Each structure stands twice: as C-alpha cells, then as structure tokens.
C-alpha cells in the first residue's frame, strides 16, 4: 500500500485531505502536535473499499532538529514513502510594523523552513527507494495576491510556490512530481476569527459567488497525489471559487 504523510492532519484541511486519501486507498500518516477528537473518530471509521488506512504520529514540526529522525522513524515503521503533503501551517496575521519579531520567526519557521527540511529528508528516502514520489505543498492565494495584515504569512506562502517550481525541475528526472495547491479562504480553526460579513464579502467577490470547502482542497490534493497527475509537476492549482480569477 502507498504511504502518504500529511502534516497538520489532525484538523482543518489536513484532516480532510487525510480522510480523502484514506478513502482513495492510501495508507495515510497524519502528523501534528496532538491528536484531535475528530481525527480520533476518523481513525476508528473503516477506510474506503480500496483498503486505505489512517494513522497518527505526534510531532512538533517547529522542532527542526528532530525532522531527520521523524522521517527515518516513519520509514522504518511504515516502509517506503510515496507522498508528502506539506499542509501544517500557522495563519498568524498582523501589521508588519507592529508584529513581534518572535511571531515573524515562528511563522517563517513553521510555514517555510519546516516543510523545506521535511521535504529534503522525504525526497532523500524517495530517491533511495527509486520511488516515483509525490510532493504537494499547501500554499495560499495570499502567496500571489496581496492582503492587508498578511505580509509575513504571504511571504511564507510565496516561498512555498517558488520552492515547488524549482524543486519540480530538480526532481523531474527522477519521476518525482512537486506541485502546490493554493486555496482561498476556507472555514477552519485558522480562519475562525473572520466575521460573517467578511465571509460574505469574500464569497461575493468570487467568480462562483461562494466559498470553497475543505473537501474541494482535499479533492485537488488527491488528484495531484494520484496516477492521473503523473505528467503534472511544478504547477500551482488554485482552489478559490474564482476569487482571484
Ligand atoms: P488549522 O485548522 O489551524 O490546522 C493546522 C494544522 O497544523 C493542525 O493539524 C495543527 O495541529 C497542525 N500544526 C500547527 N502547528 C504545528 C506544529 N508546530 N507541528 C505540527 N503540526 C502543527 O489550519 P487549516 O486552515 O487547516 O490550514 C492548513 C493549511 O492550509 C495551512 O498551511 C494554511 O496556511 C493553509 N491555508 C488555509 C486557508 C484557510 O482559509 N483556512 C487558506 C489558504 C491556505 P496541532 O495544533 O495539533 O499541532
């Protein structure tokens, strides 16, 4: 069975992605600091007819020094890694001029440095196993469009897009694909502070006049992880109901 690691798989997009991939027949390893109730329930449900499964391994991805060990432990326990979904992230907002340096550092560490390092060690494993692996990075529409109060967050998401494109060039020769998904605003814990009025405005401004859901993001990731996307690499798939069209 193909193993796929989903970071931030305990809630929000990550949980949706993990459940969708399990239903599609993958063995999914969700990584986050703690197991949520929803993830616990999902792990007790039976997988899809294709026999997928869902597992949880706790790890703080801000602990950069522990990343090589995390990857070797997962390989030893589950076997070759087919896919990595870099989804865990912080959504801290703030006006740059008043944002604390420690907050800026935390954001960059978790949203940019951590997925780059994790990818490095997972890719090494994929190369060693001659696996036609799949990397999917969860970016954001904020990586290419400007939003007040999101300059640092935007910088981290733009970094993932640049990382995706150049790494796709490096790994293409090995048959490993690297893509990004750029969601618009979706209701998760990260965006819980948004008011009803803000939600309404985002929906009204989108081409399709609605907000996207976690399942839309999960479907995009499932496609990019799957065999049907074998000739797609270095792309950014925007999932925002046409909000930035
Ligand atoms: P969320 O609901 O806040 O979930 C974040 C996930 O990341 C949780 O599973 C959390 O688990 C995990 N996480 C946070 N810090 C971690 C750490 N230090 N180590 C390990 N895991 C950690 O976020 P979301 O809305 O689903 O967002 C997921 C991704 O989509 C993020 O990269 C975000 O930037 C991106 N995105 C979100 C939106 C949106 O509108 N929601 C739009 C565009 C892009 P623990 O807290 O247990 O560690």
Whichever domain contains 223, its CATH number is 3.40.50.720
The answer to whether residue 244 sits within a structural domain is no
The answer to whether residue 245 sits within a structural domain is no
Burial class of residue 231, CB neighbours in 10 A (0-12, 13-18, 19+): exposed
The answer to whether residue 42 sits within a structural domain is yes
Tell me the CA–centroid distance for residue 134 and ligand 1, in Å.
20
Catalytic residues: 153
In ligand 1, the atom with minimum distance to the C-alpha of 60 is 19
Across the range 195-210, mean pLDDT stands at 90
* DSSP-derived secondary structure for 78-120: H-SEEEEEE---------GGGS-HHHHHHHHIIIIIHHHHHHH
pTM for this entry: 0.97
* Residue range 182-195, pLDDT digits in tens: 999 887 888 778 88
In ligand 1, the atom with minimum distance to the C-alpha of 30 is 9
Tell me the CA–centroid distance for residue 51 and ligand 1, in Å.
27
The answer to whether residue 105 sits within a structural domain is yes
Q: How sure is the predictor about 49, in pLDDT bands with cuts at 50, 70 and 90?
A: low
- The pLDDT value recorded for residue 145 is 95
How many domains are there within the chain? Answer: 1
Mutating to test ligand 1, I would choose from 5, 7, 10, 12 the residue with most ligand atoms within 8 A of its C-beta, which is 12
Mutating to test ligand 1, I would choose from 36, 59, 91 the residue with most ligand atoms within 8 A of its C-beta, which is 91
The answer to whether residue 124 sits within a structural domain is yes
Query: Pocket around ligand 1: residues whose beta carbon is below 6 Å from it?
Result: 8, 10-14, 32-34, 60-62, 87-89, 91, 110, 138, 140, 183, 185-186, 188-191
* Residue range 52-111, pLDDT digits in tens: 999 999 999 999 999 999 999 999 999 999 999 999 999 999 999 999 999 999 999 999
Residue span of the structural domain in which 71 resides: 3-239
The answer to whether residue 55 sits within a structural domain is yes
The answer to whether residue 172 sits within a structural domain is yes
* Residue range 133-169, pLDDT digits in tens: 999 999 999 999 999 999 999 999 999 999 999 999 9
């Amino acid at each position: 069975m193909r193993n796929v690691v989903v970071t931030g798989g305990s809630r929000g997009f990550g949980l949706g992605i993990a459940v969708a991939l399990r239903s599609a027949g993958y063995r999914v390893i969700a990584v986050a600091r703690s197991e949520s109730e929803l993830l616990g329930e999902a792990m007790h449900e039976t997988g899809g007819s294709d026999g997928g499964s869902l597992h949880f391994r706790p790890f703080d991805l801000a602990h950069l020094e522990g990343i090589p060990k995390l990857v070797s432990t997962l390989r030893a326990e589950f076997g070759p890694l087919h896919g990595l979904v870099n989804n865990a992230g912080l959504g801290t907002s703030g006006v740059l001029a008043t944002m604390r340096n420690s907050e800026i550092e935390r954001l960059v560490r978790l949203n940019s440095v951590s997925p780059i390092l994790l990818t490095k060690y997972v890719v090494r494993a994929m190369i060693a196993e001659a696996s036609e692996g799949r990397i999917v990075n969860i970016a954001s529409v904020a990586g290419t469009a400007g939003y007040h109060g999101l300059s640092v967050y935007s910088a981290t998401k733009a970094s993932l897009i640049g990382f995706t494109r150049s790494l796709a060039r490096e790994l293409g020769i090995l048959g490993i694909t690297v893509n990004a998904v750029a969601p618009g605003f979706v209701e998760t814990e990260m965006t819980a502070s948004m008011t009803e009025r803000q939600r309404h405005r985002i929906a009204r401004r989108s081409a399709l006049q609605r907000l996207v859901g976690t399942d839309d993001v999960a479907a995009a990731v499932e496609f990019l992880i799957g065999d049907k996307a074998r000739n797609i690499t270095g792309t950014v798939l925007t999932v925002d109901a046409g909000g930035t069209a």
